[in-house]
Chains A and B, each alone.
Chain A
Amino acid sequence: MKIKPTSIVVKHRIKRNLLVIFSLLGFICFVQGQNEQAITITFDNITLKEALLRLEDKTNYLFYFEEAWLKDHRVAKNYENKKIRAILNGLFEETSINYFIKDDRIILLNNTIVLEELPKDFFGEEKLKEESQDSSPPIFQEEFLPQGSDRKRGLITIGKQNPNSRDREFTLSGKVTNMNSNKPVQDLSIFTTNREIYTTTDANGFYSLKLPLGLNKLETNLLGYEKVFQDLIIYGNGTLNLEISEDVEVLDEVVVESEKDANVRDAVVGASIINVEGIKTIPLVLGERDVLKVALTLPGIKTAGEGSSGLNVRGGRADQNLMLLDDVVIYNPTHFLGLFSAINPFTTQSLEIYTASIPAEYGGRLSSVFDIETKTGNTEKISGEGSIGPITANFALEVPLIKEKASVIAGVRATYADYVLKNLDEESLKNSEASFYDGIVKYSHDVNENNTVQSTIYYSKDRFSITSDSVFGYSNSLVSLKLNHKFSEKKRASLILANSRYQYDILYEAEANNDFDFGYVLNESLFKLNLYNTLSDTHKLSYGLSSKLYVTDPGTIKPIGPDSNIQNKKVDREKGLESALYISDLFEVNDKLLLDIGLRYSLYAGLGEASQNVYVEGVPRNETSITEVRNYGNNEVIKTHGGFEYRVSGRYLLGRDLSLKAGFNRTLQYLHLLTTNTTMSPTDIWKLSDLNIKPQRADQYSVGIFKNIVENDLEFSLEGYYKKMDDLLDYKIGAQLILNDALETELLQGQGKAYGVEVLIKKTAGRFNGYLGYSYSRAFIKLNSAIPQEQVNSGDFFPANYDKPHDLSLVGNFRFNKRISASANFIYQTGRPITYPVGKFVYANEEQVLYSDRNQFRIPDYYRLDLGINIEGNHKKNKIGHSFVNISVYNILGRNNPYSVFFVNEEGRIKAFKTSIFSIPVPTITYNFKF
């Protein structure tokens, strides 16, 4: 990164020497009044240096200065019989130079003045002659010299020190540009490190900031860009233009950043950003850089176990996360039953996670939003990035289409996993196939100053066999188009059109008479209009509307081959329309209090063509309790559900680096994931709300305290939450969910509650950086009913499958030198609850198992340590390519963490099995390159 202040930069070494001298001089100076001769001189547009030399010729004075200070200044002036001071004042009028006359010597100073008197109370009692001087106490640079500091930039000075100035505050303004593309950088935060003064750059990269006289420590922050630390002394209004580079080759950067810049400043609770560039040093299983796995190391985000694709956020279920890839929902963001994420790390810019305060524009899921944003392609030159690991090869390319205007980024990843399976020691997997790939293309075009267009196309496909005669495949296809328009500096709009399709298919071919092909399809289409209006400095409005059409084919089965006696069957198509209106206001009540008040009204309508059963109340729902079958025509409304969702949060500053935040969040969810497994698996069914199935609802209360210790790059946060959920969908034991026309007879709806405390300590910079997250959290479910068969655990609250009270994650990076860094992950979690056999009995002439209450017991605690080392290629400046090798070992302690325990009735006897995944250390080498 380069800094180009318009004021003259003092070269570091010289500056220090001069400072010492001048400071010393300051003690011994006295007023020079004698021998002033009258001078007549003409400068006809010559450089300042020449002018000074000419003055030397004409007079006896000798000038002492640093040449660089005089650069770029020219003078064209006439002086007749003027005193040297008058001439010098004129000469330096437009510069930041001060001067000091000592006998025949004139010493030039940049910014600084040499006092002709000591400050008023320098020795405690000396009186100053001029009033004006005590209004601007002098600034001695040495007091501000970084003491053993490792600030990245040297001290600079802005403006000219003017002993007569009464101003205590000056305006610093400038423009920030991207060093590579020279484009203005928008939304860059610039703030004093104590975070009392704060601004962001506008669309043209301009900023302006009022700073107090004297030393200021400035810091910048924008996701994806290198942070800049700049200490400066301000004496007057001035400009500071910055060129900043994209944060691409920095290894020692922060891995997880709090939302934008100031975790302390923002109004939202429970938000995090994962900068994908930053995660490359984290050791990960089989060398796959996986943004979702990194998310799991944050407190509050859990999974039921390795190899399960669902994430559980703050006690929520796996289906309660809105996973967005460039504004479209991606229904299954994983490959191979959750072992790998389907998000290409090379094309991904960032992942923003909202676990508490969910912005009003998002809805439809109870617990969280994962907003994954794809990079914008490089508009200057072709660049690329790739990696080769033991499981996948990955390659991404950025191509400018119209210079500085339009570009494309494309990424492809594919596995050569078939041999992996052959190496698995699992008989049922050994002879199976497994392949997956995903591809993404994003097109971005800045049509003109006010209009931009973005479009993303994504496809992922998995195909693998679990048994020797069945093949399982699933795919996600996403398309999105986003148009941004700027009406004025204060009004913007964006329009999003998108479609997402998730489908899976099971082929069973055992050369028997029951071969079949089972298919499931879910399709959603989205229209969304967002408007942003900055009403004033204190009110920033955003509002909009969205509408989503869901169409699912919940199950189709077809016979394969002429011998199959499987009957064709298709469960009726389901349709639903989810619409919402929302508005939110970022209201800055005063300097300390910032409120983010959002309101969303969502309305869901189940649509025909459909037939729905009406059941007798108070008895188990089954075919005998149906009182009526209602038929609905195409697009006829079956039932509407809806309600207001409140999204309110606020921040109150308690001190310079300390704030208190609180939020209340209500969410509604109209489609539900049904799974016969305790963990999410790809064969699950998404079920739309209808006549018999109510939407899920959640209310979350959250509070947090945020504290930064700037000097040590430390950030602390302590958050707590309580969440209450209603109408969570569960199912009866042994429920038949696939190909069931009357699914509601298998389902139960119950309550949930979750609460927890989360602590996060981050060291955001330095040779050693990383974070420590801990959470104590509980998640409970209650399935109660007047009907005993529909109760679970006698209708009492019981721990959810993913209830893991203690969860500790430690992620650390240590940089040995420019090229080598090491990293470690340590994870400890309470074992997850399971339902364990507590006895045996004989029934139907066969041994059966009596299970404990649901989730009464726990599997052993989970812990794991991963280590990784990154070796960079050399750092030559003009190197075209850049490469690094990552060596990592997953589960280096070889802890055999049980993942599941299950029981099978074999020949009338119960046998117990336990499954663990990655039970021994898994070493990996990945080679990465970029150009």
Chain B
Amino acid sequence: MGRIRTKNILLYFLLLVQTTCTEPFIIKTIDFDSVLVAESTVTDEIKRQAVKLSRTIGLEEFGLSAEQSADVTIEDSNANVFTFTYDVETQTYLSDIEFKAEANTQYTLKIKTSDGRGYTSNVVELPPMAQIEQVYTEFVSQNGKEGIQVFVDSDNATGAEHFRYEYEETYKVKLPANAKFDWEIVNYSDFTQFGELELTPREWSDEEFCYPTDSSGGVVQTSTNDLGENRITRFPIRFIDAGNPVLRERYSILVRQYVQGIEAHTFYQTLKDLGSEESLLSQGQPGFVQGNIFSDAGPDEKVLGYFGAASVSSQRIYFNHKDFGLDLPRYFVECDWLVSNEISFRELKRKLEFENYQIYSTDDIVEGPHYITQSECSKCTAFSTHIKPDFWED
């Protein structure tokens, strides 16, 4: 047998260095495609039905590129034609009359854009109806975070299988201060960097409470066929961290359940999967998500979006931090309480003009000193409304 020689000792250096790296980068548009995006679900609620039209924007751009002057109609198999008109406030097309989708009726969305191009959706039909059984909350601890989980239970006795959820949360906010004055800077001299502040008292009494409303973002959906039994139980809709300021006064969530068909489910699921994909060493296959709206000119023009018909059921619940024995969450922002005679006039001017500070009280309306803070701490209209919604129950 050969001997392993003593000189054959371990001899190596560990020169290992970082090898793999994943880094963010700024995406640049390399080839922009302006594609029509249509989003609409006609529901079985009597209301002005909505169609959202927009166009894709470049990767560096922000916001929404609305498609404003299109002819939008929904036709049904009973030869009814519902026309739509653009509503500037909601940036959507609303039906000129209120109507609801009926069972056993087929609907088609038709769009004619201002450049003369026509688009037509596939025919859709209302899926079976299913009621939300219960929307309820539980205090949970999840991924090291404590908070309140909103669940939904739903019955599907009618054979509904695919459920998409949207929610709308409205919460009452008590402002830490009230901006009592509207202000104006006059006689400001760049040389002396001094000027005068003119104040006008404003009506603020009903602004003590604000009622912001946020809509859910993203696709939340489920199917009964993933689950052991044929019903939706404890489906998590929204998790609210225990420290979330929405829980300070009173919080309300409206859960809307759309029963949809398999095609709609597939479309939304694909959209969701493409956006949430995360991987280190390998990558999923992204691609164009084909909906059910097509250009009349042929398949070469891409159209994004899905026209669906859904039966809707909704339920609203209210709660706040006390219902769960939680501490009062901190306010949304760290309020900055400043007094005008402790800062320069120039600084005061900057705070007011560029940082949206508000004057919430004053010792003397002309001389001051004036007490200022951010508008988020003192003015409902800075972030929502002071008008109590019709549905609100205290």
A-to-B contact residues, CB < 8 Å: 286, 307-308, 337-338, 381-384, 388-390, 419-420, 423-426, 428-429, 466, 510, 512, 567, 620, 622-624, 676-679, 681, 731-734, 788-789, 791-792, 794, 835-846, 848-854, 856-857, 880-881, 883, 885, 899-905, 908, 910-920, 922-927, 929, 931
Selected contact of A788 from candidates B7, B8, B34, B290, CB within 8 Å:
B290
- Which of B19, B32, B269, B302 has the most chain A CB atoms inside 10 A of its CB? B19
Q: A678-B283, A845-B217 are contacts. A839–B34 as well, Cβ < 8 Å? A: yes
CA of A851 to CA of B27 in the docked complex: distance in angstroms?
Answer: 13
A900 and B283: CB pair below 8 A?
A: yes
Whole-angstrom distance between the Cβ of A397 and the nearest chain B Cβ: 10
CB-based nearest B residue for A741:
B225
Q: Can you give 24 contacting A-B residue pairs, CB < 8 Å?
A: A388-B11, A424-B19, A425-B20, A622-B263, A623-B161, A676-B284, A676-B285, A677-B283, A677-B285, A733-B288, A734-B271, A734-B284, A794-B299, A839-B29, A840-B58, A841-B35, A842-B54, A848-B275, A850-B33, A902-B278, A914-B22, A915-B22, A922-B15, A922-B17
Residues on B with beta carbons closer than 8 Å to the beta carbon of A925: 11-13, 15
Q: A837-B59, A841-B54, A843-B39 are contacts. A913–B16 as well, Cβ < 8 Å? A: no
Q: A383-B2, A425-B21, A426-B21 are contacts. A839–B33 as well, Cβ < 8 Å? A: yes
Whole-angstrom distance between the Cβ of B214 and the nearest chain A Cβ: 10
Q: Would you call B215 an interface residue if the criterion is a C-beta within 8 Å of the partner chain's C-beta atoms?
A: yes
Q: A426-B20, A624-B262, A845-B215 are contacts. A794–B300 as well, Cβ < 8 Å? A: yes
Residues on B with beta carbons closer than 8 Å to the beta carbon of A931: 2-5
CB interface residues, B 253-285, toward A, < 8 Å: 262-263, 266, 268-285
Residues on A with beta carbons closer than 8 Å to the beta carbon of B281: 307-308, 337-338, 679, 681, 899-900, 915, 917
CB-based nearest B residue for A427:
B22
A840 and B59: CB pair below 8 A?
A: yes
CA of A251 to CA of B391 in the docked complex: distance in angstroms?
Answer: 85
Selected contact of B262 from candidates A623, A839, A914, CB within 8 Å:
A623
Residues on B with beta carbons closer than 8 Å to the beta carbon of A842: 37, 54, 64
CB-based nearest B residue for A926:
B12
Residues on B with beta carbons closer than 8 Å to the beta carbon of A927: 10-12
If A734-B270, A914-B23 are given as contacts, then 15 extra A-B residue pairs at C-beta distance below 8 Å, sorted by A number, are: A388-B12, A389-B12, A425-B20, A510-B143, A679-B282, A733-B286, A838-B30, A839-B34, A839-B58, A845-B166, A846-B217, A880-B2, A902-B283, A917-B19, A918-B20
Selected contact of B288 from candidates A466, A623, A850, CB within 8 Å:
A850
Residues on A with beta carbons closer than 8 Å to the beta carbon of B57: 839-841
CB-based nearest B residue for A393:
B10
Residues on A with beta carbons closer than 8 Å to the beta carbon of B217: 844-846, 908
A835 and B286: CB pair below 8 A?
A: yes
A428 and B280: CB pair below 8 A?
A: yes
Q: Would you call B342 an interface residue if the criterion is a C-beta within 8 Å of the partner chain's C-beta atoms?
A: no
Whole-angstrom distance between the Cβ of A408 and the nearest chain B Cβ: 14
CA of A659 to CA of B271 in the docked complex: distance in angstroms?
Answer: 55
Q: Would you call B25 an interface residue if the criterion is a C-beta within 8 Å of the partner chain's C-beta atoms?
A: yes
B2 and A904: CB pair below 8 A?
A: no
B142 and A924: CB pair below 8 A?
A: no
B286 and A423: CB pair below 8 A?
A: no
Residues on A with beta carbons closer than 8 Å to the beta carbon of B290: 788-789, 791
CA of A883 to CA of B263 in the docked complex: distance in angstroms?
Answer: 65
Q: Mark B215-231, 1 if CB is under 8 A from A, else 0.
A: 11111000001011000
Selected contact of B285 from candidates A308, A854, A881, CB within 8 Å:
A854
Selected contact of B56 from candidates A425, A681, A840, A919, CB within 8 Å:
A840
CA of A794 to CA of B301 in the docked complex: distance in angstroms?
Answer: 10
Q: Would you call B147 an interface residue if the criterion is a C-beta within 8 Å of the partner chain's C-beta atoms?
A: no
Q: A840-B58, A849-B274, A925-B13 are contacts. A384–B27 as well, Cβ < 8 Å? A: no
CA of A510 to CA of B25 in the docked complex: distance in angstroms?
Answer: 30
Q: A839-B35, A839-B58, A850-B33 are contacts. A910–B12 as well, Cβ < 8 Å? A: no
CB-based nearest A residue for B38:
A843
Selected contact of B280 from candidates A426, A734, A788, CB within 8 Å:
A426
Q: A794-B300, A854-B287 are contacts. A677–B8 as well, Cβ < 8 Å? A: no
B-to-A contact residues, CB < 8 Å: 1-5, 7-8, 10-27, 29-35, 37, 39, 54-59, 61, 64, 142-143, 161, 166, 215-219, 225, 227-228, 262-263, 266, 268-290, 294, 299-300, 302, 304-305
Whole-angstrom distance between the Cβ of B121 and the nearest chain A Cβ: 12
Residues on A with beta carbons closer than 8 Å to the beta carbon of B18: 423-425, 920
Whole-angstrom distance between the Cβ of A887 and the nearest chain B Cβ: 9
Selected contact of A917 from candidates B20, B29, B270, CB within 8 Å:
B20
CA of A509 to CA of B239 in the docked complex: distance in angstroms?
Answer: 21
Residues on A with beta carbons closer than 8 Å to the beta carbon of B14: 390
- Which of A902, A910, A920 has the most chain B CB atoms inside 10 A of its CB? A902
CA of A580 to CA of B327 in the docked complex: distance in angstroms?
Answer: 73
Q: A620-B263, A843-B271 are contacts. A788–B299 as well, Cβ < 8 Å? A: yes
Residues on B with beta carbons closer than 8 Å to the beta carbon of A845: 166, 215-218
Whole-angstrom distance between the Cβ of B373 and the nearest chain A Cβ: 27
Selected contact of B268 from candidates A623, A679, A844, A881, CB within 8 Å:
A844
Residues on B with beta carbons closer than 8 Å to the beta carbon of A854: 285, 287-288
Whole-angstrom distance between the Cβ of A309 and the nearest chain B Cβ: 10
Residues on A with beta carbons closer than 8 Å to the beta carbon of B12: 388-390, 925-927
Whole-angstrom distance between the Cβ of B228 and the nearest chain A Cβ: 5
Whole-angstrom distance between the Cβ of A416 and the nearest chain B Cβ: 10
| Dominant secondary structure of chain B at its interface with chain A | loop
Residues on A with beta carbons closer than 8 Å to the beta carbon of B305: 843
A677 and B284: CB pair below 8 A?
A: yes
CA of A338 to CA of B288 in the docked complex: distance in angstroms?
Answer: 29
CA of A883 to CA of B276 in the docked complex: distance in angstroms?
Answer: 51
Whole-angstrom distance between the Cβ of B305 and the nearest chain A Cβ: 7
B31 and A835: CB pair below 8 A?
A: no
B19 and A919: CB pair below 8 A?
A: yes
Residues on B with beta carbons closer than 8 Å to the beta carbon of A901: 283
CB-based nearest A residue for B225:
A623
| 3 A-B pairs with the lowest CB-CB distances in the bound complex, closest first | A905-B275, A839-B56, A734-B270
A915 and B280: CB pair below 8 A?
A: yes
B262 and A622: CB pair below 8 A?
A: yes
CA of A390 to CA of B300 in the docked complex: distance in angstroms?
Answer: 54
CB-based nearest A residue for B270:
A734
Residues on A with beta carbons closer than 8 Å to the beta carbon of B17: 423, 920, 922
Residues on B with beta carbons closer than 8 Å to the beta carbon of A857: 30-31
CB-based nearest B residue for A287:
B12
CB-based nearest A residue for B55:
A841
Residues on B with beta carbons closer than 8 Å to the beta carbon of A843: 37, 39, 271, 304-305
CA of A841 to CA of B52 in the docked complex: distance in angstroms?
Answer: 12
Whole-angstrom distance between the Cβ of A47 and the nearest chain B Cβ: 41
Selected contact of A853 from candidates B35, B271, B288, CB within 8 Å:
B288
Q: A424-B19, A788-B294, A915-B281 are contacts. A852–B275 as well, Cβ < 8 Å? A: no
Residues on B with beta carbons closer than 8 Å to the beta carbon of A383: 2
Residues on B with beta carbons closer than 8 Å to the beta carbon of A734: 269-274, 284, 289
Whole-angstrom distance between the Cβ of B67 and the nearest chain A Cβ: 11
Residues on A with beta carbons closer than 8 Å to the beta carbon of B302: 850
CA of A918 to CA of B300 in the docked complex: distance in angstroms?
Answer: 40
CB-based nearest B residue for A680:
B282
CA of A788 to CA of B121 in the docked complex: distance in angstroms?
Answer: 12
Selected contact of A904 from candidates B277, B289, B304, CB within 8 Å:
B277
B271 and A848: CB pair below 8 A?
A: yes
Selected contact of A880 from candidates B5, B143, B262, B280, CB within 8 Å:
B5
Residues on B with beta carbons closer than 8 Å to the beta carbon of A789: 263, 266, 290
CB-based nearest A residue for B279:
A902
CA of A657 to CA of B53 in the docked complex: distance in angstroms?
Answer: 70
CB-based nearest B residue for A891:
B19
Residues on A with beta carbons closer than 8 Å to the beta carbon of B24: 911-913
CA of A46 to CA of B276 in the docked complex: distance in angstroms?
Answer: 96
A420 and B16: CB pair below 8 A?
A: yes
A840 and B61: CB pair below 8 A?
A: yes
Q: A678-B284, A925-B12 are contacts. A837–B266 as well, Cβ < 8 Å? A: no
